[in-house]
Amino acid sequence: MLLINKENIYILGIESSCDDTSASIIHNGKVLSNITATQVDHEKYGGVVPELASRQHNTHIAVVVKEALDKAFITAKDLSAIAVTAGPGLMGSLLVGVSFAKSLAFGLQIPIIGVHHMHAHILAHFLQEPTPAFPFICLTVSGGHTQLVKVNAYNDMNILGSTIDDAAGEAFDKTGKMMGLPYPAGPIIDRMAEKGKPNISFSKSKMDGYDFSFSGFKTSVLYYLQAEVKKDSNYIEHNINDLCASIQHGIIAMLTEKLIKVVNDTGIKRVAIAGGVSANKGLRSELQKLASLYGWELFIPDFQYCTDNAAMIGISGYFKYLDGIFDDQQLVANPRLQF
């Protein structure tokens, strides 16, 4: 039987769901270290290659965990539990993190805690001050997900709306690819948009309720580019900043339309954003404007906690630890883990 210490809690968080191998130490809810090895090989293939990603995780994981422990000035023997992303994500990538975490937890005879990657993006808000009070609404926008979530407590949240096709991050990455930008195009579009004007209007989907759809928008960008390039083969090169500003403006408009609707319908004016796309400067400033217009209390994570990181896994593990929610050696990696 495991002895659970609730006084001096050290959680090792491990994240390996996609192409970043990350490890973090959380002590009583505070970050002591957060180390990430980012894989660059995928750039030349225009997207994450699952087989390459899992091999790289294998190479990096022990080194990254050791560095996280060293930077926190602790050893593995000090750990209270290990939290690891169990899904969703790429099967091969998740397997590396889950297998490593299970072996280490077994060796140390400490609990293992499986964490949902999207819950963790939301709970990243508790890595910094000020923290949102419950309940709050979180717009979660990553490379694989776009969701509007009502967060009732650390371990109690429900989805109000989500994308029926592409995620917001994919809309950035895929339209960027159409313009010849490298993967991931989201941060590049963000930078170029600052120098351009949103003077091109692409068609936006009209979805009922709180769901999103980005496929029509993507097709509209594709047809527009094809038509313009036919007339002038240098069109993209000459107009790249305005194209980026217009694409970004369109994606932000689709996101904020649904967010405003949810806030109005629920009456919950505490609003947060999470996930890789929440690093987008255009989205962040548009939300600031909406917050002052409608009197929202707005929570935006530090840049380091927007994209994938293990600190968010560690803090999620910490809240599960406090609530006594543990897994065991039967924990499996699940690429389509339910929210």
Nearer to ligand KG4, 33 or 140 (CB): 140
Q: Which of Zn ion, ligand KG4, none has residue 64 at its interface (CB below 5 to 8 Å by kind)? A: none
Query: CB of residue 306 vs ligand KG4: minimum separation in angstroms?
Result: 7
Nearer to ligand KG4, 10 or 172 (CB): 172
Q: Which of ligand KG4, Zn ion, none has residue 202 at its interface (CB below 5 to 8 Å by kind)? A: none
Q: What is the dihedral of CA 172, 176, 178, 184, to 10 degrees?
A: -90
Query: CB of residue 211 vs ligand KG4: minimum separation in angstroms?
Result: 19
- What's the CA gap between 303 and 180, in Å, rounded? 26
Q: Is 77 in contact with 6 (CB distance < 8 Å)? A: no
Query: CB of residue 280 vs ligand KG4: minimum separation in angstroms?
Result: 3
- What's the CA gap between 22 and 65, in Å, rounded? 8
Query: CB of residue 309 vs Zn ion: minimum separation in angstroms?
Result: 9
What is the identity of the amino acid at 220? S
Contacts with ligand KG4, residue ranges (CB under 6 A): 18, 142-144, 169, 172-173, 184, 186-187, 190, 275-277, 279-280, 307-308
Assigned token pair, 328 = 């065991």
CB neighbourhood size of 319 (10 A): 20
Q: Which of Zn ion, ligand KG4, none has residue 301 at its interface (CB below 5 to 8 Å by kind)? A: none
Q: Which of ligand KG4, Zn ion, none has residue 154 at its interface (CB below 5 to 8 Å by kind)? A: none
Q: Which residue is nearest to ligand KG4 (CB)?
A: 276
Nearer to ligand KG4, 104 or 185 (CB): 185
Query: CB of residue 184 vs ligand KG4: minimum separation in angstroms?
Result: 3
Q: Is 89 in contact with 121 (CB distance < 8 Å)? A: no
Position of tokens 């809690």? 9
- Give burial (CB, 10 Å; 0-12/13-18/19+) of 158: exposed
DSSP 269: -
Q: Which of ligand KG4, Zn ion, none has residue 279 at its interface (CB below 5 to 8 Å by kind)? A: ligand KG4
DSSP 251: H
Nearer to ligand KG4, 110 or 192 (CB): 192
Contacts with Zn ion, residue ranges (CB under 5 A): 142, 308
Query: CB of residue 37 vs Zn ion: minimum separation in angstroms?
Result: 16
* Contacts for 196 with CB less than 8 Å, ≥ 6 apart: 240, 241, 242, 243, 244, 245, 246
Q: Is 108 in contact with 76 (CB distance < 8 Å)? A: yes
Q: Which of ligand KG4, Zn ion, none has residue 190 at its interface (CB below 5 to 8 Å by kind)? A: ligand KG4
